[in-house]
Amino acid sequence: MMSIREWINEDSPTSRFQANSGRAYRVTIALLRNPLAVLGILIISTLVLTAAFAPFIAPESPFGQDLGRRLLPPSAEHWMGTDELGRDIFSRVVYGARITLLIVALVAIISAPLGLVIGAISGYFGGWIDKILMGVTDVFLSMPKLILALAFVAALGPGIENAILAIAVTAWPAYARIARAETLTFRNSEFISAMKLVGASNARIITLHVLPLCTSSMIIRVTLDMAGIILTAAGLGFLGLGAQPPLPEWGAMISRGRTFILDQWWVATMPGFAIILVSLGFCFLGDGLRDVLDPKQADKS
């Protein structure tokens, strides 16, 4: 009787599920052999668990104020000290993980599929459709992301919802370019011609064949972009255009703590460390995924 491992690693899979299971298994093994990718997975897993179990991890409420203990340095009682209103910074950083994870997840859910569909359609059809879609994409790419996000938030008004929407609007053009480039490499392939001969519609070809082939590159780019998304969200929060007080958003916490940076350094430094750590985690994981999923990188190695 064939074991599960032999079934997964079989050279000639008999079903799509078996083929996908084997690919997932090989990708996982390759990732676990990359120390930086493992470190990235641990950091991101810690972020997710922290966000999920914040009420059990945080020793205090992130909104509770006590002016009698304002600006206390890190100690056994307050691991990261307290801020100017006597709030426990560690508790606020823990609850801030929820906001960071929410921003990252929603931006990825909005911008990645949008860019993937636009790029695939542009590369598949070509001609005037390609010129129009890529012309709009180039307009967005010609402007710095942070400046464009600031413009959108200024027009829509401050708030975490508007910040997420603004970041998503500035993020999709890069994904569209990648999807278009991937589609151009195989739009004239024999399997595409065969699908057309059997009567498959353009919508069916794009949905069932083109988009899945672009997914690997998209996953890599999205993971690598997470650090930039976190920094952009923190920048909007720092300027007062993102999450509004008293929400424990890390960028807003740095903004409030910059007044005390010389004497009470921990107020701004602790949420800054959290931003750096999470950004590094996504960068490490993105590099590991690129090494595993990108065939060009695999050929070089």
Indicate the residue type of 225.
D
User: Which H or E run includes 222?
Assistant: helix 211-238
- Give the Cα separation of 80 and 68 in Å (integer): 17
E strand spans, 103-253: none
Q: What is the pTM of this model?
A: 0.87
Preceding amide of 246 cis, omega within 30: yes
The β-bridge partners of 88 are 82
Domains and CATH numbers, the chain: 34-300 (1.10.3720.10)
List phi, psi (to 5°) of 81: 80, -170
| Integer Cα distance of 289 and 75 in angstroms | 39
- In order along its 301 residues, the chain shows pLDDT tens digits of 567 777 777 777 777 777 878 888 888 888 889 999 999 999 999 999 999 999 999 999 999 888 889 999 999 999 999 999 999 999 999 999 999 999 999 999 999 999 999 999 999 998 999 999 999 999 998 888 888 888 888 888 888 999 999 999 999 999 999 999 999 988 888 888 898 888 889 999 999 889 988 888 888 889 989 999 999 999 999 988 888 888 999 999 999 898 888 889 999 999 999 999 999 999 999 998 888 876 555 444 4
What gap in Å lies between CA 295 and CA 94, rounded to an integer? 38
Q: In the 8-state DSSP scheme, what is residue 59?
A: S
Sign of the torsion angle spanned by Cα atoms 276, 282, 286, 292? positive
